[in-house]
Chains A and B, each alone.
Chain A
Amino acid sequence: MDADPVAPVTGERPVGVAIVDDHPVVVEGVRAWLATEPRLTVLATGDDPDEVLRAAPAADVVLLDLRLHGRMALDKLAELSAAGRRVVVYSEHTDPQTMLAALDAGAVAFLAKHEGREHCVATVLAAASDRPYVPPALAGAIVGDARPDRPVLSDKEREALLLWFQSMSKASVARRMRISEHTVKQYVDRARIKYTRAGRPAATKAALLARAIEDGLIRPEEIGIYRSQASYDRPTP
């Protein structure tokens, strides 16, 4: 297992996190996980997204349980994402369709509840800086995506996703593919960025894409027709 070193968040202020879950036990558990990381601070918790965000309007990242009071909160997720809220969905529903639907709705990342502390901390830290983080379960969903309008991935990207999904160890994937761990992460993240084009547009997707271009992870022409909602705008070839 690895927790990818994520670049420090801008400024010294720790990342503010809001947790939305209808099981107090889970809230306490996640809070305990995040407490081990000094760069994170939990600002508010609760079972209603609107109330939680009223209590903590400055939250950088929202951890959202996709199933609230017995129903899937996909529309709430889309609403928050469209408003520019960085939402990390975490759920025990790890069927590929649900994960891809969450990405389409604008979630910055999808975390399976069983994936544990390291993935959770790494995902939240990456989300706060608009950078992708792909836990193994999400990698599996992407590599198994059979929808006709799915983004086109390169062979290396697919292989990296597949091996990451299988082994849950980027070091092992790197050894197996005979590339550096950094390159493995690049392949995986690039595949994820291509999914910012799927589904309806959302401010969070635009932010992820803009940051990826800024970081040199991907070029606009690599993801096909791209009309940015961010400041970056240039005609596609």
Chain B
Amino acid sequence: MSTETARATTAGPTGTGSTVAGSTAAGPVAVEARQAAAAVASVSDRGARIVVVAIALAWHTAIALPAVLAARADLAAPAVAAAGWLVVAATGVLAGVRLLRGVPLPAWPLAMLLLVVDAAVFAAAGEGQLFTAANWGWGTLGWFFVLVLWGRRVIGLLALLAAHSLIALVAVLGHGATAPADLARYAMYVYGTLSLPVAVFVGGAVIATLARQRAAAAATAHAMAAEREAAERARRDRRERLALVSGTAEKVLAELADGRADPADPDVQRRCVLAAARLRRLIAESDDVPDPLLHELRAAADLAERSGLPIDLVTIGTPPPLPVEVRRRLVDPPTAALAGARDWARLTVVAGPDEVVVSLVAPDRDGPAGSGPPTACDDGGDDGDGDGDGRVELLHEHDGEIRWTQTRWRR
């Protein structure tokens, strides 16, 4: 991830930055956006499903049932009407449960069953009750068609409703209701009972589609913003590191180039060693290795050894993963002390999951000046100690025998 974004940013100034970033982002971003959109769409669709199930079952029980019961004496075949009511109720419950749980339905067999019931109910209504509420085939069945065919293409629903209208027409003609008033009533009923289910069906589908599109757009935008942020941060980190290096190395190099600093001067030599150590550590810092802390210390020890200092590096235990800031504060003081070490040095690391102690011991060459009480300074770090990864405490002392620099991180 970090290498990708880094590449994208380096391409920035050449003018192709945005396209590079866009192409690297395409894979994961698109997948993420699609997942987010699907989640939003399914939430939105679930609302519509609840509405449809509620309407169908409410209509069937609150309007159709009382009407059938009230007019049962006047129906041509009350038993058939009642049986049809039960079959449709059972179908509705089955379809409703499956719809709310997201289990697929055998849509077309159920639709055929509903059409058969439709025909039976129209036949059972008889001439007298053809246009009354007791003929519940009119108002109720449209909603059940919607229930059974939810989520499919609207053309299927239209075909079913056409078949339903045809059955009604055959029934109307079959019962001999051929007067113009009857035909007008038929047309009105068909229009009145079918327009609402179609509207709800189409509306639900459109809302789900819109939700999906908007969510996808939002997710894509978020992902792009996150990528941009990561790239910015990588660039900032690199700039900071660069600033750290130029702080030490640049000045010494400039003074040497100007002739203001004398390469024979031990102090200048010390500053050079210090700058080199810091450079080496910063290079090591961005390496991708399993054990960055030890890697950075090893880099410092290597450098010291190459400049002729016998050094012992002993490590015990495995350090836990530490943020770069904590690593810097653990490694910087001992490596700086290493630059001033003469004769020999002993660099040790003792690490556990909750504590890492780095220590550098070298002979004290300045004599017993500091042989009094040890000077311990707690956390001489330049920044605040409010970081959540624990504190690094620094201890530096010399007692005439040895110079001792110790950094200690505790979780």
Chain A residues with a Cβ under 8 A of chain B: 94, 96, 137, 140-141, 143-144, 146, 162, 165-169, 171-172, 175-176
Contact = CB atoms under 8 A, between A and B. Distances in A.
Contact of A144 (B352, B359, B402, B406): B352
Given A167-B361, A175-B399, A140 B374 contact: no
B350 interface: yes
16 contacts: A96-B317, A140-B348, A140-B350, A141-B316, A144-B316, A144-B317, A144-B351, A146-B317, A166-B348, A166-B406, A167-B361, A167-B402, A168-B361, A172-B399, A172-B401, A176-B404
A143 B401 contact: no
A140 B361 contact: no
A94 B316 CA distance: 10
Interface in B394-411: 397, 399, 401-402, 404, 406
Given A166-B346, A167-B361, A172 B316 contact: no
A141 B316 CA distance: 7
A205 to B, nearest CB: 23
Contacts of B316: 96, 140-141, 143-144, 165
A39 B401 CA distance: 29
10 shortest interchain CB distances as A-B pairs: A144-B316, A166-B359, A144-B317, A140-B316, A167-B361, A166-B348, A175-B399, A144-B350, A172-B402, A96-B316
Interface of B: 314, 316-317, 346, 348, 350-352, 357, 359, 361, 374, 397, 399, 401-402, 404, 406
A30 to B, nearest CB: 21
Nearest to A174: B399
Which of B316, B351, B357 has the largest count of A CB atoms less than 10 A from its CB? B316
Contacts of B314: 94, 137, 140, 165
Nearest to A114: B312
A169 B401 contact: yes
A66 to B, nearest CB: 18
A169 B374 CA distance: 15
Nearest to A1: B401
A168 B352 CA distance: 21
Instruction: Among B317, B350, B374, B397, find the residue whose CB has the most chain A CB atoms closer than 10 A.
Output: B350
Contacts of B404: 166-167, 172, 176
Given A96-B316, A140-B316, A165-B316, 10 more contacts: A141-B316, A144-B316, A144-B350, A144-B351, A144-B352, A146-B317, A162-B357, A165-B348, A166-B406, A175-B399
B211 to A, nearest CB: 53
A96 B361 CA distance: 21
A143 B350 CA distance: 8
A171 B368 CA distance: 14
B402 A169 contact: yes
A177 to B, nearest CB: 10
A94 B313 CA distance: 12
Contact of B374 (A137, A162, A168, A175): A175
B401 A171 contact: yes
A12 B346 CA distance: 39
A89 B397 CA distance: 34
Contacts of B351: 144
A167 B397 CA distance: 12
A96 B317 CA distance: 9
B297 to A, nearest CB: 14
Contacts of B397: 176
B361 A166 contact: yes
A166 B402 CA distance: 11
Nearest to B348: A166
Contacts of B357: 162, 166
B346 A168 contact: yes
A217 B404 CA distance: 29
Nearest to B347: A166
A179 to B, nearest CB: 13
A169 B359 CA distance: 14
Given A137-B314, A141-B316, A143-B316, A165 B350 contact: yes
A28 to B, nearest CB: 24
B350 to A, nearest CB: 5
A67 B83 CA distance: 94
B402 A162 contact: no
A176 B396 CA distance: 11
Contacts of A96: 316-317
Contacts of A169: 401-402
B280 to A, nearest CB: 23
Nearest to A171: B401
A146 B352 contact: yes
Contacts of A172: 399, 401-402, 404
A65 to B, nearest CB: 21
A165 to B, nearest CB: 6
Contacts of A165: 314, 316, 348, 350
Nearest to A168: B346
Contacts of A140: 314, 316, 348, 350
Contacts of B406: 166
Contacts of B350: 140, 143-144, 162, 165-166
A172 B348 CA distance: 16
A175 B374 CA distance: 7
Contacts of B402: 167, 169, 172
A175 B357 CA distance: 19
A83 B331 CA distance: 47
Nearest to B360: A166
A17 to B, nearest CB: 28
